[in-house]
Structure 1
């Protein structure tokens, strides 16, 4: 364009020639999008998570048309910046997939369009700053608090409806009471109680729940200013975002290095009176790698090297341990702990005492982010070691490791 522009005060800023003066080299700021996915029991989120050669980031692929992900606004090629308020750009791919699987029925993703993501990376933009800029400042994560009734003063907590806001309840505390000691703060807002969201509850219904709770309750709370921020962003407040306080049970991650006689414990398949079958850790040898790592007799095995064993059979787990050669990590929990989280509708893996990221494993392969319960069960392997007749009712298989 060689035509010279002369400003005409009569035409002012509406002069169409003003367009010519725009800086052609100006770069627009990438705009993240918040996608909230909510699925029903047995339903998948309806997308795959991948890491691909030649592409950067955790990539959304195969978004099902009309599915949960599609209805939330998630698009093929999007890159994930955050999962449930947790920044994951620099997190290993298997751990990112695991965070999605552990989120339950509701998932909050902050994503960036694939093309914008690549451009931002090529320009050296800080993706964490982009996420912060989208959400702003001045809010804190929710707290998951377990309150045990004091024999004299009770739970030390009361809930008052917030005027004009249905399903919103403000917290009142007894100073020095059980709730305050469990991490609840004056003026907190109640979000969730014993696995149930309170947004649709009346005050009378909430009072009935309190009377039925017995000697303890587990509640999700957040300070009032942070609640306002979440509401402005249209972001749900989820247990998977929470900082745990006073929880009676936590999953534990154990790291074992094999000795001359192996790891020094038995892995057994045991059936409880309820009929459920678990992978149970038994009979730690004195001063063995298992005992030194803090393994407890009767603990349930949840993971081997960060991978869930829920759908695996005995021999499959044994093979995975043996393939680990000289070192292995186990995630364990007590039976009572598993029952506690099951009642709350949460995965015990959300609040592990050692949440260190596992090493990257097969990150170039696609990971299907779908309901684990829909995966096909493996065929039953041959028994490793037979139990004696009088032990057969207690467990199915046993292996020394």
Structure 2
């Protein structure tokens, strides 16, 4: 008779994760900021998260090739010294895809366990603009990954319908931010600002047409805003001088300031003293700025783009305005400025939605579980889910 062993199986070793991000956490925009939040909270998860820059600063193009070469070298070194490490490639359109084609090809050639994390305001449009040979290479990239992570249902459709990724290989993770408040009751019990204090409007993001900055300036200069008591801060990198001059031309210099890109600490300080977060984008995946606004208990005004409608409800947790509609944007802002009770209700409901579904703790837990399943499948020699071109 065969003797039955009662020994427990050895637990699977906890893998570490290397994130590949253009610009790293310092110059990586919203993606870099998200990874920075993950690194700051990694003690709450099961993984060792590391970050590797693949591009360098956006304005320093001469350093981009050696930075990418360094990332490739680290991947090769990891394959030799840390073969269980999961390589997490964060991808968007344009140059980001070119870099990830190189890194993804290297990962496949080395046999590295790797995932692709799609962050883009409209990856389908970027993909369809490319020649056929590039489309074939991109499909191979996505179908060759052990898992593909997307920000919402629109991007899930892009991955399956355009890129040919098997549905079982896709995971949806909405973005997240850390909680800036110690007590969730802080917002709900906060007093309304004094009647003589200006309502502060804040914009966070790269200055440019895609984020709706021209429409925002037009809305701030709209006649419905002229008699109201408000100020605005438009924080972000890009052509600051150009938009400062445009604000001056519209007569907004005394009310609107453009400080440039802000660090996470500076962003937190700004949001703590603000009332409304506005982001009239033409395209997003899942805007980090919107999440910052919700987390800080600000009334959010934004557009129905990307995954916004998956987490927000118009008139309850935010105000949605049509893309490119200056008059509608001005009306939404003037309505919130003129009606502090409505502004407080939307802010409180948005904050509650953040606590329910969008905290960084919940995000890291979901991400760790997903990466753990990918890593264990690789370590156990599970059949691959990778497709073929």
TM-score (normalised: structure 1): 0.25
Higher strand share: 1
- Name whichever structure is richer in helix by fraction: 2
Specify the structure having the higher radius of gyration (Cα).
1
